[in-house]
């Protein structure tokens, strides 16, 4: 019998790549890179077989979708930030069996979910690729990418998908890690001033609220957080509507979860948004 052995909220900001280049911003995201490396080390230490990633850069608007094709390799350039993220070579292996099991369970629970196993041209988005790159994950751990930006769904449907991930893990022989890949607040500044905000938040209100949320997670105040989640996602423009976060807490047990989160990368602003790396204990 399998189980979920790791759950985390992770950043995928492409400015981590310019942090590694000589110049003005060299080293500016090293703490975020180190946090992702730590989470990658945890995956290896806990002998993870399959990583499931809720990717808030994968937008869908009819049904939840899963990419679990066997061969995931290629070269990626971001259409959003090609000046930061271009020609990223990647090579991963999908987990079609687990992806299909997840889709079946979620659909049986009333959330229509499709697993795609045989579409070679269905590419991974950078909410999946960037964390895996800095975690140091190659083909040794299988990948299942779940669309984390569901345009026409409410957060309760994503909660069901998260619950289905946990159920699928328990029904399989997999040791599963789950990553909610997305920011906290996500208000991008206006285009004419966006270049001034690489290291800044767009609104002080967002930073105050983001830090409140992190403190609630650290203190185990999960029920309070879940009560405010829909308004938080709306008022602070949570990335992808914060469907990744709803999946995370669905997997954890929703308001029955009593754990206290460990912040492995302290809060930081990036291009107007609020970012972090956080691990949620499971036992």
pLDDT digits (tens, 9 = 90+) for 22-59: 999 999 999 999 999 999 999 999 999 999 999 999 99
Tokens of residue 218, six digits: 């650290």
Alpha-carbon gap, residue 233 to 11, rounded angstroms: 16
Percentage above 70 pLDDT, the chain: 100
Count other C-beta atoms under 10 Å from residue 211's C-beta.
15
Cα–Cα distance list, 210 to 62, 67, 213 (Å): 30, 30, 5
Is 1's pLDDT higher than 90? no
pLDDT of residue 110: 96
Q: Where are the domains of the chain?
A: 3-279
Is 283's pLDDT higher than 90? no
Predicted TM-score of the model (pTM): 0.98
In this prediction, residues 83-101 reach a mean pLDDT of 97
The dihedral region occupied by 47, where left means phi > 0, alpha psi between -120 and 50, and beta the remainder, is: left
pLDDT of residue 104: 98
Helix pair angle (155-171, 96-108), 10° resolution:
130
Count other C-beta atoms under 10 Å from residue 132's C-beta.
26
3-state secondary structure (DSSP) of residue 114? strand
Helices (H), ranges, the chain? 15-18, 30-45, 96-108, 126-135, 155-171, 204-219, 222-235, 243-252
pLDDT of residue 133: 98
Query: Mean pLDDT of all residues in the chain?
Result: 97
- Give the model confidence (pLDDT) of 193-239 as tens digits: 988 999 999 999 999 999 999 999 999 999 999 999 999 999 999 99
Alpha-carbon gap, residue 84 to 17, rounded angstroms: 6
Q: Lowest mean pLDDT of 102-111, 129-138, 191-200, 248-257, name the range.
A: 191-200
Alpha-carbon gap, residue 40 to 123, rounded angstroms: 22
Q: Considering the domain 3-279 in this protein, what is its CATH number? A: 3.40.830.10
Residue 66 in contact with residue 145, Cβ under 8 Å? yes
Residue 193: DSSP 8-state? G
pLDDT of residue 212: 98
Residue 175 in contact with residue 2, Cβ under 8 Å? yes
Alpha-carbon gap, residue 73 to 17, rounded angstroms: 19
Farthest CA pair distance, the chain:
54
- Give the model confidence (pLDDT) of 161-189 as tens digits: 999 999 999 999 999 999 999 999 999 99
The dihedral region occupied by 238, where left means phi > 0, alpha psi between -120 and 50, and beta the remainder, is: beta
Cα–Cα distance list, 126 to 101, 120, 226, 282 (Å): 24, 17, 27, 27
Instruction: Please choose, from the candidates 136, 192, 157, 140, the residue with its C-alpha nearest in 3D space to the C-alpha of residue 64.
Output: 157
Alpha-carbon gap, residue 77 to 125, rounded angstroms: 10
> Which string of DSSP letters, residue by residue, matches 254-265?
GGG-----EEEE
């Amino acid at each position: 019998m399998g189980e979920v052995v790791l759950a985390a909220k992770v950043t995928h900001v492409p400015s981590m790549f310019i942090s590694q280049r000589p110049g003005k911003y060299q080293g500016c995201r090293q703490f975020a890179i180190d946090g992702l490396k730590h989470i990658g080390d945890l995956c290896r230490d806990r002998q993870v077989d399959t990583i499931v990633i809720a990717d808030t850069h994968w937008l869908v608007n009819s049904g939840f979708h899963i990419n679990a094709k066997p061969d995931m390799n290629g070269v990626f350039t971001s259409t959003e930030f090609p000046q930061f993220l271009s020609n990223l070579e990647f090579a991963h292996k999908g987990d079609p069996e687990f992806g299909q099991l997840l889709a079946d369970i979620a659909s049986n629970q009333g959330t229509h979910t499709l697993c795609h196993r045989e579409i070679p041209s269905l590419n991974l988005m950078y909410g999946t690729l960037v964390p895996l790159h800095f975690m140091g994950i190659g083909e040794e751990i299988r990948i299942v990418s779940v669309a984390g930006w569901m345009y026409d769904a409410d957060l309760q449907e994503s909660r069901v998908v998260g619950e289905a991930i946990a159920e699928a893990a328990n029904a399989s022989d997999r040791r599963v890690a789950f990553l909610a890949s997305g920011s906290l607040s996500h208000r991008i500044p206006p285009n004419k001033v966006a270049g001034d905000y690489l290291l800044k938040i767009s609104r002080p209100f967002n930073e105050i609220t983001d830090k409140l949320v992190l403190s609630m997670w650290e203190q185990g105040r999960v029920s309070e957080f879940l009560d405010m989640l829909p308004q938080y996602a709306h008022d602070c423009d949570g990335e992808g509507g914060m469907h990744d976060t709803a999946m995370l807490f669905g997997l954890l047990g929703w308001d029955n979860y009593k754990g206290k989160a460990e912040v492995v990368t302290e809060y930081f602003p990036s291009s107007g948004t609020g970012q972090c790396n956080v691990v949620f204990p499971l036992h």
